[in-house]
Amino acid sequence: MFNFSEYSSLDYGYFYIAIAGTLFLVLQYLFTFLDIGDHLDADTNYDGNADGFDWLSFGLPFNLFTLKGIIAFVAVFGWTGLSLSRNDTSFLVSFIFAFCAGFIMMLIVALIYYGAEKLGENGNIEFEKSIGKQCEVYIPIPASNTGTGKVQIVLNDSLREIEAVTEGEHLKSGEIVKVVKIINDKLVVEKIN
């Protein structure tokens, strides 16, 4: 299978690219599974944004050019190019197909990490998104800010019970109310007329 005496210089180029990409790919995933390298990350506390590099994502909702994606690109590019080159495909055709295969692999890696990131749930309640929403009184709310009750409201695609007050009349359980503002992480609600 690997008779190196029959390799052309193009074959050697693809072969070395494939070996380097595969070696880095194996090391990368080995380090990931063994959880090696996390302590080497630097904490920069950077609050700005890199607007100058937005064009690299081509308008996609995920980062296409990541280290893992580039390593996958190099490995697949090398092996695809070597396979096509060994089957007497012209340089241009083997390069184009190898580039496309590498790009597809880079896209697959980006999609896998994007999907994994979306699986993580943010448990923070964003109270600002509740303003204007309707909800149901769960625990009665005393009139004129004299005490707190609770309402059931859908936030971040889940039903939540949140403390609420009212500036108006007493609200009974089961009444439908509307959130008008937020004060100290408590919803201020009013009865819907």
Task: Print pLDDT tens along the chain (193 aa).
Answer: 566 667 777 888 889 999 999 999 899 888 878 877 655 444 444 444 444 445 455 556 667 788 888 999 999 999 999 999 888 888 899 999 999 999 999 999 888 888 887 776 556 777 788 899 999 999 999 999 899 999 999 887 788 899 999 999 999 999 999 999 998 889 999 998 7
Topology (CATH) of 127-191: OB fold (Dihydrolipoamide Acetyltransferase, E2P) (2.40.50)
Cβ 150 vs Cβ 162: under 8 Å: yes
Round the CA-based radius of gyration of the chain to a whole number and report it.
29
Inter-residue contact 84 to 18 (CB < 8 Å):
no
Measured CA to CA, the distance from residue 144 to residue 137 in angstroms comes to 16
- The distance of Cα 166 from the centroid of its chain, to the nearest Å, equals 38
pTM greater than 0.85: no
* Residue found by looking up tokens 């063994």 in the block: 34
The three-class DSSP label of residue 186 is strand
The boundaries of every CATH 2.40.50.140 domain in the chain are: 127-191
Largest Cα–Cα separation, the chain: 91
Residue for token pair 């994606």: 69
